[in-house]
Amino acid sequence: MFPFCFEWEWNPDHLLFLGLLYVALTIISSGLTYALVKTWLDLPEMEESHDVPEEILYRSRYAGY
C-alpha cells in the first residue's frame, strides 16, 4: 500500500489514505517538536531559581514510625 511496494497503483483511495496518514504524522511530529522546543527554552529559567522548598511536615515523623 506504500509507493515502495511492488503492486502500487495510484488509485484515489491510496491517495486519500496516504494523505490522511501524512496529515496525522505531521500533526504528531509538530506537537512533539513544539513540546521539545518549549521545554528546551524553559530549561534555563528552571535552573536559575534556587528557592528552597518548604519542608514536608509528614517527613519529620518518619523516626516515630
Residue 45: the pLDDT is: 66
The residues spanned by each domain of the chain are 10-38
Residue 33: the pLDDT is: 97
- Tell me the pLDDT tens digit for each residue of 18-50: 888 899 999 999 999 999 999 998 887 666 556
Record the pTM. 0.54
Residue 17: the pLDDT is: 83
Rg (CA), the chain: 26
C-alpha cell at 55: 519542608
CB neighbour burial string for 35-53, b if at least 16 within 10 angstroms, e if fewer: eeeeeeeeeeeeeeeeeee
C-alpha cell at 39: 521545554
Look-up of cell digits 535552573: 47
